[in-house]
């Protein structure tokens, strides 16, 4: 049985050479950090810690290239975080497509919101330089190819050992309620144990281990159904295209030279997707297909007929919480989730990795076995990450409510939002800066959200005309109240410790 409770200074990377550390990881299963899950967070965090000279064990249940419909569009803010982590090269040679903005399609109208208009808005020069002199660009790609590149970066690192094994439980010292490591099952038969000063759980959206350490469970109101379209013409190429109208939103973005991802939001219990109406296929065929822009319809129909890899994922919301368990850190989707409408998950993941590896660097916490210092830094992490993540979280949830509008108040807010974008200028440049995760001032989001609400009310008055003024007044109150109901719960969720 490997010992971890011995003098911790003896086991820190600084005192033992890298070769000995490798033996400690491979043979004795001991390291400074044990990471559960080699997804976006796990792989990037392993490299960040290893670059600081920490000894890292990375555990992943399957090292096969993932084939999923998630994490395919990285916002400019995510590219920026990846660059800060020294991992920008993982976007090369994966047939990634540059993303230069978004286009919102509302019935027969559309409005482009390019990232290029952000440049004037971001005052932080360092940020501008990082992303190439004000050139804000995202990337979209096949998720699995990106993950394979991140994993390759981890596997080739001298200070990381990767094991293909499924984590089955935490190992704790009950008298101090401290996590010491994990139990695993290798090749479905062989039980193993791994020990670290710090155990990081980043096993994704369906985390088996968050329960017991996080007081909330994920809430799911809808699912994204995904298809892969071949040689699809998009309303605006190199943009994320969002289709709004009578139905829940549909997202379209190119993920390879020939492939385009379509994600169709389907609320829970939607009648047109019920078995009696032909299930999800019936819904896609009868309701979604006719509502799509003309240019998209042929490849959508073709993908439907072919099967097109049709599958779904739950769209979850999980508010953030502070890590309070000694020896444990929960990160990524296991810790915090928002609706994927705005493609913010990986951007949050990567900027969290950059921030937390900085807060836990050897300069700040020489020995990770010093759980008091680690927990102090994790408290600070919880609040400091908000400059970016609270924006991504609130924006995703609020925008989803508007874009999936299912009552008349929300319909007004949806229309108001679209017309607001049509105004151009700051009404586009700042919102797209928030979407791209390159504006880090939560107040900017608050300001534009309520500007949209007031603009919606103005549209309502204008449409109703002078004669209906009294009715308009009452309706205006309802619309404004709705706007508050939409955003305040998510703001409060961010204010909790």
Check: CB of residue 150 under 8 Å from CB of residue 143: no
Query: Least CB distance from residue 145 to ligand NAG, whole Å?
Result: 24
Strand (E) positions, 155-256?
160-164, 166-173, 178-186, 190-201, 219-230, 239-244, 250-254
13 makes contact, choosing from ligand NAG, ligand FAD, none, with CB < 5 to 8 Å by partner type, with ligand NAG
Concatenating the DSSP letter of every residue in 6-71 gives: S-GGGGSTTTS-HHHHHHHHHTT-EEEEEEE--SHHHHHHHHHHHHTT--EEEEES--SPP--SSS
Which of ligand FAD, ligand NAG, none is residue 37 near (CB under 5 to 8 Å by kind)?
ligand FAD
Helix (H, G, I), strand (E, B) or coil at 125: helix
Nearer to ligand FAD, 13 or 437 (CB): 437
Least distance from ligand FAD to the Cβ atom of residue 435, Å = 12
Q: Are 185 and 166 in contact (CB under 8 A)?
A: yes
CB 12 within 8 A of CB 367: yes
Q: Binds 215, which of ligand FAD, ligand NAG, none (CB < 5 to 8 A, cut-off by type)?
A: none
The residue of the chain with the least Cβ separation from ligand NAG equals: 53
Query: Are 314 and 301 contacting, i.e. CB atoms less than 8 angstroms apart?
Result: no
| Tokens coding 235 | 């309303």
* β-strand pairing of 56-60 with 30-36: parallel
The minimum distance between CB 17 and ligand NAG, in angstroms, equals 7
**Sheet arrangement for strand 97-99:** 73-74, 138-140, 97-99
**Alpha helix (H) residue ranges in 284-333:** 289-291, 297-306
Could you give the CA distance from residue 199 to residue 36 in angstroms, rounded to a whole number?
Answer: 8
Cα–Cα distance, 390 to 455 (Å, whole number): 24
Q: How far is the CB of 366 from ligand FAD (least distance, A)?
A: 27
Binding site residues, ligand NAG, CB under 6 A: 13, 18, 21, 50-51, 53, 158-159
Closer CB to ligand NAG, 22 or 494, in the complex: 22
- To ligand FAD, the closest distance from the beta carbon of 226 in angstroms equals 7
- Given the rule CB under 6 A, which residues bind ligand FAD? 36-42, 59-62, 69-74, 166-167, 202-204, 208, 224, 263, 313, 315, 332-334, 340, 343-347, 349
Nearer to ligand FAD, 327 or 345 (CB): 345
Please choose which of ligand FAD, ligand NAG, none residue 18 contacts, taking the beta carbon within 5 to 8 angstroms, the exact cut-off set by kind.
ligand NAG
Residue 159's binding partner among ligand NAG, ligand FAD, none (Cβ under 5 to 8 angstroms by kind) is ligand NAG
Closest contact distance (angstroms) between CB of 34 and ligand NAG is 16
Q: Which of 473, 481, 434, 475 is nearest to 121 (CA)?
A: 434
**Residue 45 Cβ, how far from ligand NAG at the closest point, in Å?**
14
Nearer to ligand FAD, 224 or 490 (CB): 224
Q: Are 436 and 118 in contact (CB under 8 A)?
A: yes
The interface partner of residue 255, options being ligand NAG, ligand FAD, none and the CB cut-off 5 to 8 Å by kind, is none
Residue closer to ligand NAG, measured from CB, 21 or 131: 21
Residue 228 touches which of ligand FAD, ligand NAG, none (Cβ within 5-8 Å per kind): none
Closer CB to ligand FAD, residue 357 or residue 451? 357
């Amino acid at each position: 049985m490997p010992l971890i409770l011995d003098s911790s200074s003896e086991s820190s990377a600084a005192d033992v050479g890298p070769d000995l550390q490798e033996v400690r990881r491979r043979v004795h299963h001991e390291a400074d950090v044990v990471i559960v899950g080699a997804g976006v967070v796990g792989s990037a965090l392993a490299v960040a810690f290893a670059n600081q000279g920490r000894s890292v064990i990375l555990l992943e249940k399957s090292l096969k290239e993932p084939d999923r419909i998630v994490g395919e569009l990285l916002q400019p803010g995510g590219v920026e975080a990846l660059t800060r982590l020294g991992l920008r090269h993982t976007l090369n040679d994966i047939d990634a497509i540059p993303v230069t903005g978004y286009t919102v399609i509302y019935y027969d109208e559309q409005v482009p919101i390019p990232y290029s208009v952000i440049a004037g808005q971001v005052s932080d020069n360092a940020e501008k330089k990082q992303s190439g002199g004000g050139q804000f660009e995202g990337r979209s790609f096949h998720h699995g190819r990106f993950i394979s590149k991140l994993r390759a970066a981890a596997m080739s690192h001298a200070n990381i050992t990767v094991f293909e094994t499924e984590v089955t439980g935490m190992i704790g010292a009950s008298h101090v309620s401290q996590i010491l490591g994990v139990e695993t099952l290798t090749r479905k038969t062989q039980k193993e144990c791994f020990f670290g000063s710090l155990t990081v759980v980043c096993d994704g959206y369906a985390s088996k281990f968050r329960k017991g350490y996080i007081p909330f469970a994920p809430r799911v109101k809808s699912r994204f159904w995904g298809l892969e379209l071949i040689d699809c013409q998009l309303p605006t190429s190199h943009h994320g295209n969002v289709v709004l109208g009578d139905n829940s939103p549909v997202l379209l973005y190119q993920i390879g030279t020939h492939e385009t991802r379509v994600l169709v939001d389907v609320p829970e219990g939607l009648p047109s997707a019920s078995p009696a109406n032909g299930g999800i296929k019936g819904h896609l065929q009868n309701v979604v297909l006719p509502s799509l822009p003309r240019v998209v319809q042929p490849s959508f129909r073709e993908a439907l007929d072919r099967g097109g890899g049709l599958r779904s994922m739950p769209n979850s919301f999980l508010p953030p919480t502070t890590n309070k368990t000694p020896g444990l850190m929960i990160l990524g989707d296991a810790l915090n989730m928002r609706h994927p409408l705005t493609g913010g998950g990986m951007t949050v993941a990567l900027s969290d990795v950059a921030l937390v590896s900085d807060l836990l660097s050897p300069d700040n916490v020489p020995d990770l076995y010093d759980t008091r210092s680690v927990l102090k830094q994790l408290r600070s992490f919880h609040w400091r990450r908000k400059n970016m993540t609270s924006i991504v979280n609130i924006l995703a949830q609020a925008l989803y409510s508007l874009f999936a509008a299912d009552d008349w108040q929300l319909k007004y807010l949806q229309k108001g939002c679209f017309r607001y974008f049509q105004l151009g200028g700051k009404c586009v440049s700042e919102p797209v800066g928030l979407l791209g995760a390159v504006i880090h001032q939560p107040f900017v989001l608050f300001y534009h959200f309520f500007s949209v609400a007031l603009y919606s009310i103005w549209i309502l008055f204008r449409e109703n005309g002078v004669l209906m003024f009294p009715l308009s007044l009452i309706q205006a109150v309802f619309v404004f109240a709705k706007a508050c109901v939409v955003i305040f719960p998510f703001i409060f969720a961010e204010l909790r410790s």
